Amino acid sequence: MWTRFKKNFGLTAIALPGLIWFILFSYLPLIGIVIAFKDYKISGGFFESLLSSKWVGFDNFKFMFATNDARIMVRNTLLYNMLFIVINIVVPLFIAIMISELLNKRGAKAYQTMIFFPYFLSWVVISYFVWAFLSPDKGLVNRLLVAMGADGISWYSEKKYWPFLLTFFNTWKNLGYNIVIYLAAIVGIDKTYYEAASLDGASKWQQIKHITLPQLRSLVAVLFLLAIGKVFNSDFGLFYQVPRNSGALFPVTQTVDTYVYRTFRVIGDIGMSSAAAALQSIVGLVFILVANYIIRKIDRESALF
Amino acid sequence: MKRQKSYSYMDISKGSNVLFNVILIVLSILAVIPFIFVVIISLSDEASIVSKGYSFVPESWSSHAYEYIFKNGADILNSYGISVIVTVVGVLIGLALIATYAYVISRQTYPYRKFFTLVALIPMLFGGGLVGNYLVVARLLNLKNSIWALILPLAMSPFYVFVLKSFYRTSIPDAIIESAKIDGASELRTFVSIVLPISKAGLATIGLFLTLGYWNDWYNAMLYIDEQSLIPIQYMLIRIENNINFLAQLGSQQGIVSEVTRNLPSETVRMAIVVLTVAPIACVYPFFQKYFVGGLTLGAVKE
Amino acid sequence: MGKKLISLLLAALLCVSLFAGCSNTKNDDVKDDGQNGTKTEDSKGSDSAEEAVELVYYTIGTPPADLDKVTAKLSEMTMEKINAKVKLVFIDWGDYGSKITAIINSGEEYDIAFAAGPDQGNFLGNSKKGAFAPLDELLEEYGQGILEVVHPAFWEGLTIDGKIYGIPTKGMDIAAPNCWMYPKELVDKYDIDIDSIKTFEDLEPWLEKLSKEEPEWQLMDLDQDSHFAPGYEYLIDSVPAVIAKGDDSLTVKNLYEEDSTVELLNTLRKYYKAGYINQDAAIKPPSGLVKGEKVFWKQAQGGPGADNIWSKDRGYPIISSQVEEAYISTSSTREAVVCISSNSKHKEKAMEFLNLLNTDSDVRNTLGYGIEGEHYELVDGKVRFLEASSNYAVPNYSLGNLSLVYLKEDDPDDLREQVDKINESAVESTMLGFTPDLEPIKNEIAAITNVNKEFRPALMTGSVDIEENLAKFNAKLKEAGLDKVIETLQSQLNEWKANK
């Protein structure tokens, strides 16, 4: 055992700074999770307070299961995430391949830069634009509809459009970021593969199918697993700011994060918000374990652990 | 190894190229229109927005929004300076930490790989929340009002570690490392002189993400910095934005606060804020881009 | 490349040694509660009067540029008067909630903090969880000046479980009544007797007339936060369990099952259909008054001097009339208070300082306006702002006794008298001093809050059909547990009343 340790000391030492960082900035703060299981009262310093506070088990978690609405929020969170995960893996992958195969490399650069831009805009700013297009009276879309003789649509109270709209905005905003990940991986693929294939007379399509995609397989698996760990979290700005907090849309916009936020604004209970975060982590953990297990079965190499 | 300019069958057909270009042009237009809009609105006259709504061609132009920001953020240059320092130092530290850690867990033969993978995975799922983080950064490490409070908490992220690890897996054949080992190179030497040079695209990607992360961060500044001279640009501007929102809400409930809400310009200032924060970082973008798009050119033309 | 890498690794090493250094030296701090040099070490006893303490005071507002200067001046004054310095920390409006939550819950030491609603220091929640110190004895001993100047109704409202936890700073408008504001231009042109308009029905003839004759004016401006419950008092914000004002029996009811509410909603619906109400009301985020926007009617909480402020905001003259009597309720007493931390080692000094803020004109005005001669000057006893005043612009309502604060140049001379008059005429709530215990019903409150946000904006702006949606709303409220909430609140109220 000791010899094994000594033999691998070189590598261990390289990972050491990172390990220390994780301990300090990720593991020590985990003590905060305990609050989720306590009726947290202040009596002196933090540890004193934590020790003297009563354990309440899962009491703080109950508010997330209290009603039918809670079911809706769970359903929305999970379904949107599933959809987003698939789209955010597949669409950028194809566009990244397109960019990488373009004949005009200058164009590739320009497109890639422009597509990245939405990532710079916050959801608040995006919500203003959405409003500029969809507002009931001054909105561009409705003015167009009316000009064509159709009736305007009150976008912010018709919930049927929003699953589509939200998915579109989410894809649009994150596209550039995800493309970068794939591009970097495509650049990293060993060029000799392509040369060999070319010499064998493989067409570009065949090369993409037999070299590029398989080479990206493990990256896709990793991105999928990392995303699935966040399956119970949601992008607050997307679901709260973009639909302008419109009540009529709640059945399709309420997610765990918006529900907790609205609750916190009224009760201000740190135990409840800690519990919500803890629940998100636990659900993520379960999903990631299952997903990893499945991937291991299919392709051992690509699994995360 | 030198090759001809390119083999014709290594490229996609002309038709596909046109199709790809069309798709990408549409996407690009969709992506930049809002930003052009942002710039125009930031230069519009507030009154014309109140009466007419957003427009590509505003009735009258005005630089009032920028004047307002520069007047209210007297130390705006200082804040830019803080942001630059934080970003540069942070990206360097972050890259060093992530590149090393990801390399170690990418090595299939390393016996403690599972342990280190697990160490990085758990924080991906579990976080300490507001109180836990504050407790450690502000109280245990005593970084309140220190520039390190802006740098260290963001230096690593499990996501970057795993993405880079998978870059390593695709771009570094095990054989190279084994041969280096046989040559008697130390682990550190192998990593520095063999692994890093062939991982430029991956490192540039993570570097870009770190840069964006640092440049856009305001949350840590909000929590840990009271000292006005240490406030990064993003937080200084976000604060103006937050205040507009918060005071508007408060003002509508309580008449008394109205004295402070008066004369908050809103739409144009918000947009000017976006311009002022995005512009510098957009200028840095090509620097990183050359590694992951430039690399493509290289690959297609010659090795 | 090689050189770059070496420097990278050096940076990493540096960072490691830095971590090690930090964690070694700071461990002790946590044990003795994390004070590290910001305070002098006089924790042994409260009577170490020789050593000056430094009070850490968190308050809300944008940090002003000249803060250090003003704090130095302030500390000079307080050193002389109570032998203590003050470290004043302003936390910006939108950040106050998160930051003070982190400070309080991580057990950081401080002395004084501003508190109000759940997202601004959470006065109720934090008092209940022991974050703030009970003040009764401290007030008795060191805060006599405060007891003298504060309206007695406040103490009833600020008492939680038998103890006082906060000192009000908003003394002047304990009972800011609801006002309806109109543009003077239209009021004069059509000779509208605004004082006779008290209900939406009173408003109707004018809406009808103006909709024809003044098409460019938006007649009524409502938003997501608009809600009307004239004659009712809420027990918990955004939970429609109410009692009727003046009801001595303290019967808790569902606001949305009251006939008057149904009537009100139908009226609003009628107005919405007639085009009097802005079309986007249900999705319009609450906002301040927008300069130049032409709006005939809007509701706001007001009081003496409000017309002036609103006129400036709007950019055209506004006049308003009070539509409800001034009303003192538990929640109106809690809109702005300062509290002393239960972790403070200098509670007595903190109270002495707060006493100064409520009795000492020099200290109070320095805090509120900055340094005389630099940020402002006095002209006939009123404040005229100097050029440097923009380097020290802080809100006054959150800092301590407003009646000590100098009037500003454009305030009416009798502002204080007007305020006193309103306060005297104010009606006290029949449940003033009652604080609901949210603990047994917090899950229901969470659910109801979300249901309320889903339906209320549309109903209260008349944007949707009332009959259908009100029934749905009530059904969902029941499902979310409104009945249990009403029942629980009722029994808490009964108990409170019996022990009163």
Q: What is the pLDDT of residue C321?
A: 92
Are A53 and A37 spatial neighbours (Cβ–Cβ below 8 Å)? no
Alpha helices in C191-346 (DSSP H): 200-213, 259-273, 306-314, 330-333
Compute the half-sphere exposure of residue C480: CA atoms within 13 Å on the CB side of its CA: 27
- Mean pLDDT within C334-357: 94
Domain residue spans of chain C: 51-172+330-433
The larger pLDDT score, comparing residue A193 to residue B84, is at B84
The larger pLDDT score, comparing residue A25 to residue C27, is at A25
Is the confidence at residue B262, as pLDDT, over 90? Answer: no
C64 touches chain B (CB under 8 A): no
Instruction: Locate the chain C residue with the closest alpha carbon to B152.
Output: C15
Q: What is the pLDDT of residue C348?
A: 95
- Pick among A42, A142, A273 to test the C interface (most C CBs inside 10 A): A42
Is the confidence at residue A256, as pLDDT, over 70? Answer: yes
pLDDT bucket at C6, cuts 50 / 70 / 90: very low
The larger pLDDT score, comparing residue C392 to residue C172, is at C392
CATH code of the domain occupying C51-172+330-433? 3.40.190.10
**Are both A130 and A45 inside the same structural domain?**
no
A113 touches chain C (CB under 8 A): no
All residues at 6 or more sequence positions from C322 whose CB lies less than 8 Å from its CB, including other chains? C177, C178, C179, C302
Is the confidence at residue A92, as pLDDT, over 90? Answer: yes
Is the confidence at residue A111, as pLDDT, over 90? Answer: yes
Domain residue spans of chain B: 1-72+265-303, 77-231
Is the confidence at residue C431, as pLDDT, over 90? Answer: yes
Cα separation, A76 vs C140, whole angstroms: 55
C8 touches chain A (CB under 8 A): no
Residue C262 Cα, gap to closest chain B Cα (Å): 24
C107 contacts in chain A (CB < 8 Å): 42, 44-49
Cα separation, B230 vs C266, whole angstroms: 55
Q: Of A45, A244, A269, which is closest to C125 when you measure between CB atoms? A: A269
Is the confidence at residue C4, as pLDDT, over 60? Answer: no
Read off the tokens for C218: 């938006």
C30 touches chain A (CB under 8 A): yes
Q: What is the pLDDT of residue B248?
A: 63
- Mean pLDDT within B204-219: 94
Q: Of B141, B252, B259, which is closest to C300 when you measure between CB atoms? A: B252
The segment with the largest mean pLDDT, out of B207-216, C175-184, C393-402, is B207-216
C309 contacts in chain B (CB < 8 Å): 255, 258-259, 262
Per-residue model confidence as pLDDT tens digits over C39-52:
444 444 444 445 78
A254 contacts in chain C (CB < 8 Å): 450
Q: ipTM value of the model?
A: 0.90
Q: What is the pLDDT of residue C422?
A: 83
- Mean pLDDT within C222-238: 90
Instruction: Locate the chain B residue with the closest alpha carbon to A100.
Output: B296
C418 contacts in chain B (CB < 8 Å): none
Q: What is the pLDDT of residue C471?
A: 96
> Phi and psi of A253, rounded to 5°?
-120, -10
B149 contacts in chain A (CB < 8 Å): none
* A84-93, A282-291, B14-23, C389-398: the lowest-pLDDT one: C389-398
C98 contacts in chain A (CB < 8 Å): none
pLDDT bucket at B252, cuts 50 / 70 / 90: very low
- Looking at the 3D structure of chain A, how many domains does it have? 2
Q: What is the pLDDT of residue C168?
A: 92
**Are both A151 and A235 inside the same structural domain?**
yes
User: Strand pairing of C53-60 and A54-55?
Assistant: unpaired
- Pick among B39, B92, B125, B163 to test the A interface (most A CBs inside 10 A): B125
Are the Cβ atoms of A41 and C130 closer than 8 angstroms? yes
Write down which residue in A9, A30, A57 finishes a domain: A57
Are the Cβ atoms of A67 and C280 closer than 8 angstroms? no
Compute the half-sphere exposure of residue A114: CA atoms within 13 Å on the CB side of its CA: 19
- Mean pLDDT within B73-83: 83
Instruction: Locate the chain B residue with the closest alpha carbon to C119.
Output: B246
pLDDT bucket at B264, cuts 50 / 70 / 90: low
A260 touches chain B (CB under 8 A): no
CA C463, C468, C474, C479 dihedral sign is: negative
Share of chain C above pLDDT 70, in %: 89
Q: Of C23, C29, C288, which is closest to B247 when you measure between CB atoms? A: C288
Which of B201, B9, B173, B176 has its CA nearest to residue A195?
B9
**Are both A83 and A209 inside the same structural domain?**
yes
Are the Cβ atoms of A273 and B129 closer than 8 angstroms? yes
B261 touches chain C (CB under 8 A): yes
Q: What is the pLDDT of residue C172?
A: 52
Q: What is the pLDDT of residue C41?
A: 40
Instruction: Locate the chain A residue with the closest alpha carbon to C23.
Output: A24
A43 touches chain B (CB under 8 A): no
pLDDT bucket at B55, cuts 50 / 70 / 90: confident
The larger pLDDT score, comparing residue C472 to residue A201, is at C472
Instruction: Locate the chain B residue with the closest alpha carbon to A8.
Output: B110
Are the Cβ atoms of C118 and A265 closer than 8 angstroms? yes
Q: Of B97, B209, B299, which is closest to A18 when you measure between CB atoms? A: B97
A239 touches chain C (CB under 8 A): no
Which of C137, C117, C140 has its CA nearest to residue C127?
C117
Read off the tokens for B68: 């307002």
Are the Cβ atoms of C94 and B192 closer than 8 angstroms? no
Instruction: Locate the chain C residue with the closest alpha carbon to A13.
Output: C13
**Are both A41 and A94 inside the same structural domain?**
no
Write down which residue in A42, A57, A72 finishes a domain: A57
Q: What is the pLDDT of residue C175?
A: 67
- Mean pLDDT within A223-252: 93
User: How many Cβ atoms are within 10 Å of A193's Cβ, its own excluded?
Assistant: 15
Q: What is the pLDDT of residue C313?
A: 78
A72 touches chain C (CB under 8 A): no
**Are both A51 and A86 inside the same structural domain?**
no
The larger pLDDT score, comparing residue A224 to residue B53, is at A224
A228 contacts in chain B (CB < 8 Å): none
Per-residue model confidence as pLDDT tens digits over B268-278:
888 888 898 88
Q: What is the pLDDT of residue B247?
A: 66
B85 touches chain C (CB under 8 A): no
Hey, is C297 helix, strand or coil?
Answer: strand
pLDDT bucket at C13, cuts 50 / 70 / 90: very low
Are B247 and C288 spatial neighbours (Cβ–Cβ below 8 Å)? yes
CA B31, B34, B38, B44 dihedral sign is: positive
CATH code of the domain occupying B77-231? 1.10.3720.10
User: Strand pairing of C239-244 and C253-254?
Assistant: antiparallel
Per-residue model confidence as pLDDT tens digits over A25-42:
999 999 999 999 999 999
The segment with the largest mean pLDDT, out of B117-121, C147-151, C307-311, C423-427, is B117-121
Are the Cβ atoms of C30 and A259 closer than 8 angstroms? no
Instruction: Locate the chain B residue with the closest alpha carbon to C93.
Output: B243
Are the Cβ atoms of B140 and C300 closer than 8 angstroms? no
Cα separation, C135 vs C415, whole angstroms: 31
Which chains form contacts with chain C, at 3 or more CB pairs under 8 Å? A, B
Which chains form contacts with chain B, at 3 or more CB pairs under 8 Å? A, C
Tokens 């402070």 correspond to what residue? B260
Residue range(s) defining the domain that contains residue A49 = 1-57
Q: What is the pLDDT of residue B286?
A: 86
Which of A247, A296, A301, C368 has its CA nearest to residue B169?
A301
Cα separation, C181 vs C184, whole angstroms: 9
- DSSP readout, A195-252? HHHHHTT--HHHHIIIIIHHHHHHHHHHHHHHHHTTTT---HIIIIITTTT-GGGHHH
The larger pLDDT score, comparing residue C401 to residue A58, is at A58
Is the confidence at residue A11, as pLDDT, over 80? Answer: yes
A95 contacts in chain B (CB < 8 Å): 23-24, 27
User: What's chain C's average pLDDT?
Assistant: 86
Size of interface A-C (CB pairs under 8 A): 144
Are the Cβ atoms of C343 and A272 closer than 8 angstroms? no
Q: What is the pLDDT of residue C16?
A: 42
Q: For residue C114, give Cα distances in angstroms to C71, C119, C472.
A: 17, 12, 40
C125 touches chain A (CB under 8 A): yes
- Mean pLDDT within C331-347: 92
Are C404 and C358 spatial neighbours (Cβ–Cβ below 8 Å)? yes
User: What's chain B's average pLDDT?
Assistant: 83
C-alpha A88, offset from chain centre: 9
Q: What is the pLDDT of residue C374?
A: 92
Are the Cβ atoms of B223 and C99 closer than 8 angstroms? yes
The larger pLDDT score, comparing residue B154 to residue A1, is at B154
Q: What is the pLDDT of residue C174?
A: 64
Cα separation, C352 vs C368, whole angstroms: 18
Q: What is the pLDDT of residue B72?
A: 65
pLDDT bucket at C30, cuts 50 / 70 / 90: very low
Read off the tokens for C184: 């003077």
All residues at 6 or more sequence positions from B36 whose CB lies less than 8 Å from its CB, including other chains? none
Are A181 and B208 spatial neighbours (Cβ–Cβ below 8 Å)? no
B2 touches chain C (CB under 8 A): no
Q: For residue C145, give Cα distances in angstroms to B275, C79, C356.
A: 52, 19, 8
DSSP label at residue B259: H
- Pick among C3, C4, C5 to test the B interface (most B CBs inside 10 A): C5
Are the Cβ atoms of B271 and A184 closer than 8 angstroms? no
Q: For residue A170, give Cα distances in angstroms to A119, A242, A280, C463.
A: 10, 10, 20, 29
- DSSP readout, C330-397? HHHHTSSEEEEBTT-S-HHHHHHHHHHHHH-HHHHHHHHH-SBTTTEEEETTEEEE-GGGGGS---ST
Q: What is the pLDDT of residue C134?
A: 96
Write down which residue in A57, A73, A92 finishes a domain: A57
Hey, is C317 helix, strand or coil?
Answer: coil
Instruction: Locate the chain B residue with the closest alpha carbon to C315.
Output: B263
Element spanning C114, H or E: strand C112-115
C-alpha Rg value of chain B to the nearest Å: 24
